[in-house]
Structure 1
C-alpha cells in the first residue's frame, strides 16, 4: 500500500501553542462558533431526533446485552474474523441497508442517504490487544463488567449498534450515506491496517467525515493524531559456547549498549523545548541458554509525538545509537565474524492535527455542550490518525460510561447511569455531518 503522507507542521502550529516548562501544549478547549450551536439546536428541535435520543435510553438493556455478547468473542491481533462475523449479523439486524466485509476484514454496513452526495463514517474497532487463548468472558462485580477488551473497544461496537437501531426505529433519514464500520488492526502491530484500507483504492470510495469510537466517557474530542514509529531491532552474530567461544561478538552486549545510548540521547532531546516527544523499549528477547553466547538479541521500541519533525528526530537518534553500538561491538570482539543488525519498521502511525474551527470538531463540541458537558480537545493515537493525516475531517470520541485498566486482564466498564450520553453525542455529531432530511 502506498504510504500515507503527513501534513505540514504549519497545520499543527496554526492551532496555537503555549509553553509549559520545556514542552509545548496545544489548547485543551476552543470557542464554539454560533453557527454550529445553531446546527445542533435545529437538529434537536426535530421531534424525530428527540425520539431517537430517547430510544437510545430505552435501548440500554440491549446495548448491555450486545456489549457482553461481543466481548465474549475473542478478537486477538490479526484474528478478528469470529467477532467480525457476529458483528456483521448484529449490524444487519440493527437496520443497515447492506453489510459486507472488505479485503482487510473490516465489517461495513451502509445506510443509504437521500442523495448520497457525502459519505460519513461512524466506526469502532473489532480487535483487542490480547493474544489468542485469552479468556474474554465477562464477569460481574455489582454493575461493573470485567473482561479483557470490554472497554477498548467493544463498548464502542455496542454503542454503534445502538445508534443504528435508534435511527431505524425512529425512521430518521439523512442526506448523506452513512457507513457503520467495525475495523481491524487498530491495536499493536496491526498498524491501523483496517482504516488504511478504507482510504486505499480498494476502499468504499471517498469519505467526507470520519467519527471513531475509542475509549469511554463523553465530552472529549480527540482532534489531533499522535504519531508513532515502532521498530524491531535485531543484532545477530555467530553465537557459541559461553566459555569455548569467548571473545566473539555478543548480540546482547550490543543491544544493551544501544539501549543505553538511545536512552541518553533520547532523554536529552525529549527535554528540549518543543511539542512533547516520548520513547520506550517495550519488549526484549533472544538467547538460548545461560551457558551460550546468543546468536540473536532483539528489542521492540516505540516513539511518539504529534509533531512529525520531533518524531523523525527521535527516530534518527535510535538509528544513530544502533549504528554506533554495532561499530563498537565489532571493534571490541577478539574473534569470529562481525555482528549484523536489522532495523525493521513494524508500525508507522502518521501524526497530524485538525483545526478546532473545522466543522466536524465544532459540531462535536456543540453536541457535547448541548448534552451538558464542558467540551475538551486533545491528542490521541487511534484510527482517526489516518483521515486526519491526509486532510479528511476526523475525530475520536468516547462511547459513554466509565472504564479502567485498559489492556489489562482486569479491564472494566461501568455504565454510570449516564452512559447513554456518549451514544447520544455520537448520534448528534453524525446527524450534523450527514444532514437530517425529515421535517
Structure 2
C-alpha cells in the first residue's frame, strides 16, 4: 500500500487534476458552487430540490452522461432492494466514475453487481425542518461583521441587512457583498481583524462544503480521465440528520430496519465518508416517538388525560438505570427524554387530544443498547396504563389512553475491535504520503454518522473532509455560520481523498501500469439481497 500511495499521489494525471484545481478560477468556481447549492433548502427526507439541482448539473455542467448518474428523481436506485425508508422515497444523488473491472473476462460480481468504492457526504440539513409550502424556497444567506454578537433569535437573523444575491438561474451575483463573503482567512482572529463576516446559512458547517467539493472532485476525475479499476461512486446522501434515520446509506447498503441487517445490494467493498477525521467507532441509537391519544370523555365528563399519561411514562423512564450504571465495566449507555409536545384542544373543548414524546437511547455496543431498550420501551405503555387505572379504564378499550408509534429510528452500533482493514489503511497511508499524518494512529473516540450503516454491515470505512473553513459555529442550529478558509486546503484534501479511494479501487496510471485493487471484488453483507 505504501508503493500504491506513492505512485497514485504522484501520477501525472492526478497532479494535472490538482494543478487545475489550484488556480484562482477553480477556487472561485468551487466557492460559487457551494454558495449556490447550500442555499437550496434540504430538510431530512425532503432533499428532492437539492438532489434535483445536483442531477441537473451533473449532466448539464459537470461533464457526465445521463447513464453515469446512478440515482433518479423519484428516489430509486434500480439495483437496491431498499428504495423506501420509513415509508418515504430516498433522494440520494450519485454519479459513477466508471472502472475497467467489469470488462475483464474473469470479473466477479454479486448478483450482477460489480465491486464499487463509495465516497459520500450528506446533502440534508436540520434547518429548516420542512420545505416552504409556497413561494421561493431559497434560503437567504446573511452576512454579519465579527464585531457584532452572534444572533440569538431567528428574528435577529432575518433583520441582518446584508446578504448574498442570486440571479433568476440561481447563480450568485458577484457584487460587493459577494466580495466581502469571499475573503479568505486562516482563523477567526484573522477574519475579525481583516473585515471578515459570519456567513449564516444552514449546512455551512454540516456539511455542504465537503459534499459540494466531492462533486467538484468527481467532475475533475471525469475531465482528467482518471480511471479506477473498480467503479467509484460519489454520492450526496439523504437523511443523515435528525429524523432522516440514515435513509440515504440505508438505501445504498440495503439496510433492513426490522432485521438490523444490510444486504449490500450494490456490492460496495469500501466506504469513505466526508464528515470527519478518521472516526472508526460508531455510537448506535434507538429513537422512539410515541403518541398518547386520549379518548373522547363520557358525556362530557372527565377521563384519562394524554398529558398525564405522558408525564407518568416520563417519570417511569426517569427511574430506569442503564447497563453502565448497573454493572461496572459495561459499555457506556445513555438515554434522553427529548421533545414532549401536546396537540391543542379543538375549539369549544378542553380535552387535549394527544401528546407526543421522543426518547433516544445510545451505546457503542448492540447488547447494552438492546438491554436499555427492553427496559424503556415498556414504560410507554406503563404510563398509559397508570393513567387508565386512575379512571378504571381497561388498556386497549376505546375509553382509555391508547398508544401509537409515530416514528422509530435506528442507527446501528459498531466498535472496531480491529482497525486492520483496507479503508483505514488507505486513509492513513494517504495522509502519511501527503505529510498530513506522521504515524498510522487511529483515534479511539466514537461518532454517530452515515458510517454507522456500512461499518455495521461489515464494510471497511474511514472518514475525511473536503471542506476548508476559517471559523464556524451553530451546527444544527438556526444560526449556523462559517467563514471561508484557504482554497489550497481544499485541494490538499482532494489529493488525499483521491489517493485513498484509488488505493482501494485500483488505478490505471499514466505510464500504462495498473495499481491493483487493495481488496477483493465481493463486499461483505449481513444478509442476502432481496430483489
Q: Same fold (TM over 0.5)?
A: yes
* Paired position in structure 1 for 2:110: none
> After the TM superposition, which of the residue ranges 90-99 and 206-215 deviates more from structure 2?
90-99
User: How do 1:203-282 and structure 2 match up within 5 A?
Assistant: 205-214=266-275, 220-240=277-297, 245-246=301-302, 248-266=303-321, 269-270=324-325, 272=327, 273-282=329-338
**Separation (CA, whole Å) in 2 of partners of 1:325 and 1:128:** 34
Counterpart of 1:128 (choices 125, 142, 160) is: 125
* Paired position in structure 2 for 1:137: 140
The TM-score normalised by the length of structure 1 is 0.81
Rg: which structure is higher? 2
> Are 1:41 and 2:13 counterparts?
no
* Paired position in structure 2 for 1:94: 62
> Are 1:392 and 2:459 counterparts?
yes
**Separation (CA, whole Å) in 1 of partners of 2:229 and 2:410:** 35
Query: What is the DSSP-based 3-state SS (H/G/I as helix, E as strand, rest coil) of the residue aligned with 2:335?
Result: strand
Q: Provide structure 1 residue ranges, at least 5 long, that are not aligned to the other structure.
A: 1-35
**Separation (CA, whole Å) in 2 of partners of 1:412 and 1:334:** 54
> After the TM superposition, which of the residue ranges 57-66 and 37-46 deviates more from structure 2?
37-46
Would you identify which runs of 4 or more consecutive aligned residues in structure 1 move more than 4 Å?
201-204, 266-272
* Paired position in structure 1 for 2:152: none
* Paired position in structure 2 for 1:27: none
> After the TM superposition, which of the residue ranges 96-105 and 200-209 deviates more from structure 2?
200-209
* Paired position in structure 1 for 2:185: none
Query: What is the DSSP-based 3-state SS (H/G/I as helix, E as strand, rest coil) of the residue aligned with 2:410?
Result: strand
**8 Å contact 2:323–2:368 — kept in the other structure?**
no
Change beyond 3 A, Cα 1:268–1:120: closer
**8 Å contact 1:230–1:303 — kept in the other structure?**
yes
**8 Å contact 1:282–1:300 — kept in the other structure?**
yes
**Separation (CA, whole Å) in 2 of partners of 1:289 and 1:236:** 12
Change beyond 3 A, Cα 1:60–1:271: farther
> Are 1:284 and 2:340 counterparts?
yes
State how many pairs are aligned.
398
> After the TM superposition, which of the residue ranges 357-366 and 117-126 deviates more from structure 2?
117-126
* Paired position in structure 2 for 1:84: 51
Change beyond 3 A, Cα 1:183–1:159: same
**Separation (CA, whole Å) in 2 of partners of 1:101 and 1:123:** 14
**Separation (CA, whole Å) in 1 of partners of 2:311 and 2:431:** 49
User: How do 1:307-318 and structure 2 match up within 5 A?
Assistant: 307-318=365-376
Q: CA deviation at 1:288?
A: 2.4
Counterpart of 1:113 (choices 96, 99, 114) is: 99
**8 Å contact 1:195–1:386 — kept in the other structure?**
yes
* Paired position in structure 2 for 1:359: 422
Query: What is the DSSP-based 3-state SS (H/G/I as helix, E as strand, rest coil) of the residue aligned with 2:44?
Result: coil
**8 Å contact 1:239–1:250 — kept in the other structure?**
no
**Separation (CA, whole Å) in 1 of partners of 2:338 and 2:459:** 32
* Paired position in structure 1 for 2:179: none
> Are 1:146 and 2:200 counterparts?
yes
Change beyond 3 A, Cα 1:302–1:135: farther
The structure carrying a bigger strand percent of its residues is 1
Query: What is the DSSP-based 3-state SS (H/G/I as helix, E as strand, rest coil) of the residue aligned with 2:17?
Result: helix
**8 Å contact 2:45–2:238 — kept in the other structure?**
yes
**8 Å contact 2:304–2:401 — kept in the other structure?**
yes
CA offset digits 1:284-327 (Å, max 9, x no partner): 11242498242322212222222111111221221232233333
> Are 1:199 and 2:262 counterparts?
no
The TM-score normalised by the length of structure 2 is 0.68
CA offset digits 1:22-67 (Å, max 9, x no partner): xxxxxxxxxxxxxx44432232232332333333333322211110
**8 Å contact 2:45–2:91 — kept in the other structure?**
no
Q: CA deviation at 1:221?
A: 1.2
* Paired position in structure 2 for 1:436: 507
**Separation (CA, whole Å) in 1 of partners of 2:217 and 2:330:** 40
